Amino acid sequence: MYQFSYADIQHDSVADAKDREKQLLGRSIDLLMAARTVGTNSMEAIEALQFTNRLWTTFIDDLGSPENGLPPELRANLISIGLWLLREAEEVRQGRSDNFEGLIEVSQIIHDGIQ
């Protein structure tokens, strides 16, 4: 019979969460890249912007939770980045910007920073 310590399970849970976050960010990046190719008035753009919005809204909610284990300064920085991404995505959605590149670059930096 296998026996796991609470620390092992907790470590696996954190690793699983980070893996899921990376996968979701990767999906967002893929969608944004496809949208960049076909333009802001496409179904791909709508899908990419909605996915990115839902993802970062969820991330920001989690980062604002007292139960979040990240250091407060990192959490604040990630919230600021997330708010920028949400604002920029809204600008693209409203047709006032076509800055898919900025959304992709910032998302890629966050994706690559998840350890």
Question: Percentage helix, strand, coil, to 5, in the chain?
Answer: 80, 0, 20
Q: Would residue 65 count as lying in a domain?
A: yes
End-to-end CA distance of the chain: 31
| pLDDT above 70 for 4 | no
Predicted local confidence at residue 2, as pLDDT: 45
The number of folded domains in the chain is: 1
Please report, for residues 75, 107, 110, the alpha-carbon distance to residue 93 in angstroms, rounded to integers and kept in the order given: 26, 17, 22
Q: Would residue 70 count as lying in a domain?
A: yes
Give percent above pLDDT 70 in the chain. Answer: 90
Q: Determine the average pLDDT of the residues in 64-83.
A: 95
Q: In terms of residue numbers, what domain contains 70? A: 18-113
Nearest Cα residue to 85 out of 64, 57, 115: 57
With cut-offs at 50, 70 and 90, classify the pLDDT of residue 24.
Answer: very high
